[in-house]
């Protein structure tokens, strides 16, 4: 097995596949840092603040679906909505039939309510007038905020929580790491069949176990290599873009995050290997990497499970136990994996335990398929 592993590593290192995928990860890191650097720059913030569509965007129902109103129209729409709501609340119960039924005492009470509603309308009108004055002041004077204000906002935006959170958001939760590992796994393993490399090996029962076991170990090396590339490229790119961290990740938390991220990437790589060995097709492995390992299929399936869970609760409870959900949770809670509770029935256990269980079960299942039915297939 060790000789096979050395041979495969030699082929990878002296080929293009390993390095092209690494360049892609580095490019994604640089692109992410560059985009965040631009959107957090004082120039972009000022341009956004002075944009008419951004300063007069109305998010309540008074827009009637238009979404954007002029300054005077926005104030009038807000005042009209408040007046209509007040009138609807106070006008009910003043019809002739209701007055005859309720009697003079209740009519007097309704009259008092109507007076209270009129006072509320006046108060709402005064509030709407004051709000419209403030609205007009901001819209007509985009220079009210100084350069120091924009620089302060930019400085806050460029202060990230921790290095683990940066890497989790950039490479793990988005599925880039798992997709790259799966792509290289699919292309490299399929070469053994397209180039007839596997037929030159001794493929008795013991030889097959060594062959498939070495390939799974190789997938683990690929996951570790690309995780290191993503971590180093992300740290260098964000440092060059001027980003800092509010707190340094404790060594234990960082090691735990990297370990779980590696486990999930390794699990996705193992599923891709199973697809390639089952189909003997590089295309099937690449399609699996692009659709499943990227998290697209998992996200759609998770939404379906949550939707079905409204009627059958146990179906919705399956969603947190998907590989895609675990990958998303590890990226989103990179620095709090031990503090964030897992999904039921491990409510009292941390999220790290749940991810460890899901990743371990996925790898074990792939290994069982590999050394079971797939090992017996004709090469």
pLDDT tens profile 320-332 = 999 999 999 999 9
Report the pLDDT value the prediction gives residue 345, as an integer from 0 to 100.
Answer: 76
Residue of higher predicted confidence among 374 and 49? 374
pLDDT band of residue 51 (cuts 50, 70, 90) is low
* Of the listed ranges 90-99, 206-215, 222-231, 359-368, the one predicted with least confidence: 90-99
Closest CA to 322 of 178, 197, 138: 178
pLDDT band of residue 174 (cuts 50, 70, 90) is confident
| Average pLDDT value for the chain | 78
- Is pLDDT at 216 greater than 80 in this prediction? yes
pLDDT band of residue 352 (cuts 50, 70, 90) is very high
Residue of higher predicted confidence among 15 and 55? 15
* Of the listed ranges 146-150, 160-164, 175-179, the one predicted with least confidence: 146-150
Closest CA to 263 of 348, 190, 193, 330: 330
Report the pLDDT value the prediction gives residue 3, as an integer from 0 to 100.
Answer: 81
**How far is 58 from 49, CA to CA, in rounded Å?**
15
> Which DSSP state fits 350?
B
Report the pLDDT value the prediction gives residue 149, as an integer from 0 to 100.
Answer: 64
Report the pLDDT value the prediction gives residue 203, as an integer from 0 to 100.
Answer: 63
The backbone region for 349, taken as left when phi is positive above 0, alpha when psi lies in -120 to 50, beta otherwise, is beta
pLDDT band of residue 55 (cuts 50, 70, 90) is very low
- Is pLDDT at 146 greater than 70 in this prediction? no
Report the pLDDT value the prediction gives residue 120, as an integer from 0 to 100.
Answer: 42
Token output for 14:
């002296």
CA distances from 337 to 171, 303, 318, 350 (A): 17, 23, 20, 7
pLDDT tens profile 303-323 = 999 999 998 988 988 999 999
Closest CA to 331 of 165, 84, 217, 180: 165
Query: Is the distance from CB of 275 to CB of 187 less than 8 angstroms?
Result: no
Side-chain half-sphere exposure of 217, counting CA atoms within 13 A: 15
3-state secondary structure of 52: helix
3-state secondary structure of 14: coil
**How far is 248 from 164, CA to CA, in rounded Å?**
9
Report the pLDDT value the prediction gives residue 325, as an integer from 0 to 100.
Answer: 93
3-state secondary structure of 243: coil
* Of the listed ranges 88-92, 165-169, 225-229, the one predicted with least confidence: 88-92
- Burial of 376 (C-beta count, 10 Å sphere; 0-12/13-18/19+): exposed
pLDDT band of residue 59 (cuts 50, 70, 90) is very low
H/E element, 266: helix 251-279
pLDDT band of residue 200 (cuts 50, 70, 90) is low
**How far is 42 from 39, CA to CA, in rounded Å?**
8
Distance of CA 108 to the CA centre of its chain: 59
**How far is 106 from 120, CA to CA, in rounded Å?**
21
- Burial of 227 (C-beta count, 10 Å sphere; 0-12/13-18/19+): buried
Q: pTM of the full predicted structure? A: 0.73
pLDDT tens profile 23-33 = 999 999 999 99
Whose tokens are 């929580």? That residue is 161
């Amino acid at each position: 097995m060790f000789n096979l592993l050395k041979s495969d590593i030699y082929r990878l290192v002296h080929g293009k596949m390993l390095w092209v995928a690494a360049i892609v990860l580095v490019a994604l890191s640089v692109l992410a840092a560059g985009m965040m650097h631009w959107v957090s720059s004082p120039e972009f913030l000022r341009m956004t603040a002075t944009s008419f569509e951004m300063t007069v965007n109305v998010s309540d129902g008074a827009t009637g679906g238009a979404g954007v109103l002029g300054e005077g129209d926005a104030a009038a729409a807000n005042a009209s909505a408040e007046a209509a709501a007040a009138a609807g609340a106070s006008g009910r119960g003043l019809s002739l039939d209701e007055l005859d039924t309720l009697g003079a005492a209740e009519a007097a009470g309704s009259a008092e309510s109507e007076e209270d509603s009129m006072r509320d309308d006046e108060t709402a009108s005064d509030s709407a007038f004051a709000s419209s004055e403030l609205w007009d002041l901001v819209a007509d004077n985009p220079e009210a905020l100084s350069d120091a204000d924009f620089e302060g906002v930019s400085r806050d935006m460029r202060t990230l929580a921790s290095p683990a959170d940066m890497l989790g958001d950039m490479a793990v939760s988005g599925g880039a790491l798992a997709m790259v590992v799966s792509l290289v796994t699919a292309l490299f393993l399929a070469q053994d069949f397209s180039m007839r490399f596997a037929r030159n090996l001794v493929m008795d029962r013991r030889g097959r176990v060594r062959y498939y076991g070495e390939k799974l170990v190789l997938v683990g090396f690929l996951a570790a290599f690309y995780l290191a590339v993503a971590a180093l490229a992300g740290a260098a790119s964000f440092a060059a873009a001027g980003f800092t961290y509010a707190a340094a990740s404790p060594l234990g938390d960082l090691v735990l995050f990297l370990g779980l991220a590696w486990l999930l990437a390794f699990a996705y790589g193992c599923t891709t290997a199973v697809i390639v060995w089952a189909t003997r097709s590089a295309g099937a492995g690449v399609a699996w990497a692009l659709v499943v390992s990227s998290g697209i299929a998992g996200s759609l399936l998770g939404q379906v499970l949550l939707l079905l869970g409204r009627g059958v609760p146990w179906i919705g409870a399956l969603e947190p136990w998907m590989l895609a959900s675990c990958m998303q949770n590890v990226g989103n809670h990179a620095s709090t994996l031990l503090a964030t509770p897992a999904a039921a029935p491990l409510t009292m256990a941390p999220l790290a335990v749940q991810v460890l269980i899901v990743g371990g079960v996925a790898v074990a299942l792939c290994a069982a398929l590999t050394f079971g039915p797939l090992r017996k297939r004709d090469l």
